[in-house]
Amino acid sequence: MTLLFLGMAIAFEVTATVSLKISDGFSKLVPSIIVVIGYAAAFVFLSQALKRGMAIGVAYGIWSAVGVVAVATIGALFLDERLTLVQVGGIGLVIVGVLALELGGAH
């Protein structure tokens, strides 16, 4: 159940972040509303994952890594943004860091 809540938190955060770009500095109403609702929902779901026992370092690490990968991919595919080889390498390092957090905590 904790992973479901974390997944929902990530989905809402990614949606809110992409909408932040589309809102054009909060000058467009619908994307701006999605930003506010999305971030609020993301924190509600994250708090539920933490409440159910997920370690905060692991939760935030997964949230960050999946969020970075998702937003960068969406930006490249749909928002006409470029991903350089260095940026792709950085994303890989974020993923490796999260794996290290997760595996380092295993007993």
Question: pLDDT tens-digit profile of 86-106?
Answer: 999 999 998 898 888 878 766
CA distance 107 to 5: 23
Q: Which residues contact 68 (CB under 8 A, 6 or more apart)?
A: 91, 94
Comparing CA positions, the residue from 82, 81, 83, 62 lying closest to residue 11 is: 62
Q: Which residues contact 74 (CB under 8 A, 6 or more apart)?
A: 14, 18
Residue 107: predicted pLDDT:
54
pLDDT in tens, 1-45: 999 999 999 999 999 999 999 999 999 999 999 999 999 999 999
Residue 106: predicted pLDDT:
62
